[in-house]
Amino acid sequence: MKFSHFLSLLFVALIAFGCKSEFESVRTSGDPALWLAKAGDYYEQGEYQRAQTLYELTIGPYRGKAEAEEIAYRYAYTYYYTRQYVLASYYFKNFATTYGGSPLKEEADFMAAYSNYELSPVYRLDQSYSVKAIEGFEEFANRYPNSERVSEANLLIDEMRAKMEKKDFESAKLYVDLSRFESAQRSFENVLKDYPETARAEEIRFLMAKSQYEYARQSYVTRQQERFEKAVDLTNSFLERYDTSEYRDELQDILTKSQAKLKELENVRYQSTGSRP
């Protein structure tokens, strides 16, 4: 039993060694035609790392020839299929630039953006690649308005914008948790500006008003009037906009307290100057 198992392992090892020897013999052959033929075989078999190695060897010998276009196209895809997305995006862009009249240019332009989409991380992490992917898909949609892939590009844009919105929203909420209310209020304001279509608009406007109120409470007395006035403005704006909101009672309380504080500040000024402003 053990001997038969040994023979099986030996057989597998010999096959692996034979395959490796075949690849190495092709790689070191110095024959561009053989490189190209075997690169195509490996590519079709899904052995993209080996295909990539051989296609790279063919780039120089076939530069300017009819085969160069397909080599460049497949070479870019080998990076995509091996999940080397930064290089994949680069080589797809390079293909689109080099072969501007190619019928494959549209696909290359899409894949340049899609490779960056593959690098788009969870919302908590840096979203630089999401930004690059969005820019790429927007350029694609503008360049190919009638393409069947425009709808897909738009869906992916929406997906990444939703992720970026959540990151910015959660970052603003973190400022609240840290009692950095000025930064929180400004951050919530930027979320509304950057994502006007957000489904979180009601909650954001509530947190803006609440953050402004807390910011005013923390301020020096000399700066409190203008900051409580802004809290009143934000609160009134919310109450007018959302007449059935779950946040109404809390904001009504904030409004009452802000108005009371403004009246108190006015009385202090009256007592110190002897006349009302």
Arithmetic mean of pLDDT, 121-135: 96
| CA distance readout (Å), 31 to 23, 38, 78, 81, 130 | 13, 11, 21, 26, 42
Q: Give the Cβ contact number of residue 35 at 10 Å.
A: 22
pLDDT at residue 30, as a whole number: 85
Residue of 89 and 276 predicted with greater confidence: 89
pLDDT, mean over the chain:
92
| Crossing angle of the two packed helices 32-44 and 68-81, in degrees rounded to 10 | 40
User: Is residue 225 predicted with pLDDT exceeding 70?
Assistant: yes
pLDDT at residue 87, as a whole number: 98
Q: Express each pLDDT in 6-37 by its tens digit.
A: 555 555 555 655 556 889 989 998 889 999 99
Long-range contacts of 77-82 (CB under 8 A, 24+ apart): 77/43, 77/48, 77/111, 78/43, 78/48, 78/49, 78/51, 78/52, 79/52, 80/111, 80/115, 80/118, 81/46, 81/48, 82/48, 82/49, 82/52
The region of weakest confidence among 36-50, 142-156, 257-271 is 257-271
Share of the chain above pLDDT 70, in %: 90
| CA distance readout (Å), 176 to 19, 49, 137, 156, 183 | 61, 49, 34, 31, 8
The region of weakest confidence among 72-76, 90-94, 139-143, 218-222 is 218-222
pLDDT at residue 21, as a whole number: 80
Could you give all domains of the chain from N- to C-terminal order, each with its CATH number?
26-82 (no CATH), 83-164 (1.25.40.10), 179-277 (1.25.40.10)
Share of the chain above pLDDT 90, in %: 84
User: Is residue 145 predicted with pLDDT exceeding 70?
Assistant: yes
Arithmetic mean of pLDDT, 73-78: 98
Neighbour-count burial of 48, counting CB atoms closer than 10 A to its CB (0-12 exposed, 13-18 middle, 19+ buried): buried
Arithmetic mean of pLDDT, 243-250: 95
Q: Express each pLDDT in 105-125 by its tens digit.
A: 999 999 999 999 999 999 999
pLDDT at residue 170, as a whole number: 97
Arithmetic mean of pLDDT, 172-198: 96
Arithmetic mean of pLDDT, 160-175: 97
